[in-house]
Amino acid sequence: MTDAASFVPKTVYVTYIAAAPEQIWQALTDPAFTRHYFSGFAVDVEPRADGHFRLLYPDGRVHIAGRVLEWSPPQRFACTWVVKGMQGFDQLPECIVTYEIEQAGGSCKLTMTESHSWDVSEAILAGGRAGWPAILSSLKSLLETGNALAIAMAPPPDFMEAVARAVAEKPWLRSR
Amino acid sequence: MTRPHSSVSPRLTVVHNEFGDGRKIFGLVSKGWPAALSSLKSYLETGCGLQPSWDEEAAKRAAAEAQ
């Protein structure tokens, strides 16, 4: 069982969206939406605490796998997050991704928090810090205009090497 | 700074730094910039800016600090 209290927020991204909380919730949890703004991935989530959470490639292979930690529509959704099918990545400790949706006047505030249980390096965090703004900007555009954004994504410099180093050295075993 | 991040969508990066000891200012602008830039994006894409409720945000902050 994941002890969420041992995880520390490392990356927080906030955006405001002209949409109802229920629409943002649907965009986060319905594959018909995520395919458009989340690099083509289809979300597959069991709508309950401890249900499974996945992001799937168009051919059905698993890209992200985790468990639902909190399912409180339309305000809070948290899940664990492990990258699958990429060399070494699934040996990294799981992280926790939390979405929080709050009404803010005529629009809604969406906060994404990526939390880690170990002293994860800046070079690894750079992956999420490049990806989340692109993904969540595209989600906002999709809800407000009906069109997602076309954004070319590539891993930041040293990201793949930093993951390989962490998998080899396993610093999380030392910090416990 | 903006740069052509892809054929379609530019990326806008705002850097606001050199706060010195102004941690309080840093906390406030960290809340303000996402609202302002979200509104800018909406305005450019839809013709309508957002109307985030600064009063609600301020009231929430005051309540949180009072606890």
Q: Which of residues 5-24 of B touch A (CB under 8 A)?
A: 5-9, 11
Domain contains B14: no
The pTM (predicted TM-score) of the whole model is 0.90
For B16-58, the pLDDT digits (tens) are: 988 887 778 888 888 899 999 999 999 999 999 997 666 566 6
Residues in chain A: 176
Domain contains B35: yes
Question: Which pair of structure tokens corresponds to residue A59?
Answer: 């051919």
**B3: confidence class by pLDDT, cuts 50, 70, 90:** very low
The reply to whether residue A18 touches residue B35, judged by beta carbons under 8 angstroms, is no
Residue with tokens 């018909």: A32
The reply to whether residue B6 touches residue A151, judged by beta carbons under 8 angstroms, is yes
- Whole domain around residue B50: which residue ranges? 21-66
Q: Which of residues 2-21 of A touch B (CB under 8 A)?
A: 14-18
Question: Which pair of structure tokens corresponds to residue A25?
Answer: 């919730």
Q: Provide the number of CB pairs (under 8 Å) joining chain A to chain B.
A: 65
Rounded to the nearest 5 percent, the helix, strand and coil shares of chain A are 35, 35, 30
Domain contains B3: no
pLDDT of B55: 57
How many independent structural domains does chain B possess? 1
The reply to whether residue A106 touches residue B50, judged by beta carbons under 8 angstroms, is yes
Domain contains B1: no
Domain contains B38: yes
Domain contains B7: no
> Which residue ranges of chain A lie beneath pLDDT 70?
175-176
Domain contains B9: no
Domain contains B27: yes
